[in-house]
Structure 1
Amino acid sequence: MEDLKWLFKKYGILFAVLLLVMILSCIMYNRQEEHIPKTDSNSETDLRKTESNELSEEERWEKGYDLPIEEEKKEEAETDCFVIMDRLSDIYMNADKGDASNVVLSDETLDQMQDVVGESGSPVITSEIYCTMSNYEKMDQFLKDCLEGKDTSIILYSLLNSGGVSRKEYIFDGSEMYLLTVGARWNDSYDPVVSSVSYTRINEWKYTEKGWFCYELCVPEPPEVTEIVDGSELIRVIPLSEEYIELSEKYVYPLCYQGNNLLCSNWDTTTLSTLDYNGVYEYFYKMKYGEGLDPGNYSNGIPATDFECVIMEYLPVTAEQIREWGVYDEETHTYAWERLGCGNYNLSYFGTSVPEVIGVRQNEDGTMTLTVEAVCEMVIANDAVMTHELTIRVNEDGSFKYWGNEILDDGIQNIPEYHYRISGD
């Protein structure tokens, strides 16, 4: 496929990227911030901990990152960011920020902020998974003008779930595209402060038929840095329909592509034995009860009645079949369970992909088939690593069961072989 050439060009750093993923995964397995009159002295990003500060201006332009910024241009960007933060201050101060040290705003609060910033006329996105870009028509026209080689620019505001704002100005000179980013956050006194400023050349970019703006920033590479910097980013410009967003949120996002194999393997009602029941349990549990399971409660396994009840809620299987195909202890009447971590799954950028419904059809047998594409931002910036069809049987009361999954074309060749969470040997 066309996007594979991106992957080949990145093989030189892929191994190191996977090592980084492994380190992060060992800490947690379940992305914030960035404005203003004063600059936070502790906000220098790790990206700047390189030898770039010692480079000449000519060398910086050649490498494409940490580019010099005209002071007037920088002040203009920071002032714009200030104005936006000022408009959001009341919403942020009155929002429920929880008790954690790291603020995570609700989707509802982010939606309120997006409505306010959208009144500026600029395109606006949030950190929500299936966010619809405000004023997307302007971003769409900007990218089409770029494809025609026109000199143009646009400002995109990104609202982070921490309450911060990122002002991204994309500048196209008819040949090269650059990104000027000013990030802002709130300090403990609810004052906006600049957290980062950067000016970078975009190494590669494309605007896909689906409406995704995919690009890769110029970043430091080994041996200049000891840690891999991933400059890839995907931004959905043309929104998904409300129907597809609803279907994505309800049926596919709760599963994704890591920790279970429902969406990343071929199976149907005749091959249910191939599913990873001990892996998918925690995902079904959260779907059923609305909250994640507490690992501390299952150090001695999961009671059979609890496990089987949850599994049978979402798959057409019997308790007897689950005991045969899952990792089950007949003496203790429990199912084995382990927290997902490094060592019990394949490390790959694919696991970070987000499933996106792009089509739906009703079948004669009463089932529904969703056409789903795996959108991966990490490393390869691909809006369709693979395409698959997920079949679901929905009951009159709204409950449903997964009926099968088929990976189309040669998509199975583009993803790693699935690693079962727990071995039954």
Structure 2
Amino acid sequence: MSPQAFDVDRIRADFPILAQQIRNKPLVYLDNAATSQKPSSVISAEQLYYEQFNSNVHRAAHALADRATIAFEGARERVRVFLNANSTQEIIWVKGATEGINLVAQSWGRENLKPGDVILVSMLEHHANIVPWQQVALQTGATVQPVLVTPEGDIDLDDYRSKLTTKVRLVAVSHVSNALGTINPVADMIRLAHDVGAKVLVDGAQATPHLMVDVQALDCDFYVFSSHKVFGPTGIGALYGKQALLEAMPPWQTGGEMIERVSFDGTTFNQLPFKFEAGTPAIAQAVGLTAALDYLGLMDRQAAEAHEQALLARATEVSRDIPGLQLVGTARNKVSVLSFNIDGIHSNDIGTLLDQQGIAIRSGHHCTQPLMSHFGITGTARASFAFYNTMAEVDALFSGLQKIVKIYG
């Protein structure tokens, strides 16, 4: 089937939640960086699983288990294609990007890091890509060093190069900043890290909803993403790792499925990818994720990205009309995220007052407290746009902000 042309009105009809009203106002959902909405096909796919082939996978000999296993492993193949991994053995199911990062930290990190080693972490990172490295540093004697950002919200590549020594064993960096929308130059950062022998983990949670990702072209060692950010169900995500690295890593969690043989004399572990997948997995969610990735696969992704960029350009332009509004994060290369503050108005108040007008945004530190401290602020208001948002919704946001400014004026 050929990709469908981009038509925002038609696409909005695929997302039933967008048709509702909030506080007697049409819902304007601009909190997509926190979680995305789901098309009907995703909702139906999960329902169909429960109605027709609900069963545990891999370990039974009956028809429902066969159907569930085929769908579940088909989902793994769908993720492999989505990321352009070399093999399904490189795709590990996790609860989301956070669990994927913790898996790498506690398996690869504890096995490979030692006192004197350095973990470089960009200052743009979500706490989920900071705290796991701090914890493994405490366990191994390694140290975590931040990579600075520019006033515009770009990674300071000069600072990065200066800190890339042979002591650096791992670089942890987001493909896209959740707080600012900055698209980081991860391909260049990976190349430079590999030049000094370091491995690189890329947090792709905010990239996959907007960008086409090719892990082989990037040459990253690890890549993580979350289903719920990419129009799929909550509770599932994937870790990509280069096969040779994953084979050398010890299991993180243990239990059923990830074993080959258990006795009181010892245990041997299953092959990849099952070695890292203890217990009953999120089967229904994997089925839903397949539907989400299929949905994206039928879309003209370049046209969708162009539409999102047009929304961001419009929002950036009309933000100048709001007295006292300052944008936070003005990188030239960014996805459709607009973070801002308004003089004399707390970001949480902005979020609350917009909600009274049916407009959903995010406010606070966005789980990026080191970044906010670097900018000398406690948080921002953040509007994040997806391909199903419209120019009319951008205008509704700024009409709402004008009303708020008048209240405080």
TM-score normalized by structure 2? 0.32
Q: Which has the higher contact order (CA 8 A, sep 6+)?
A: 2
> What TM-score does the superposition give when structure 1 sets the normalisation length?
0.31
Q: Which has the higher strand share?
A: 1
Task: Give the structure with the higher percent helix.
Answer: 2
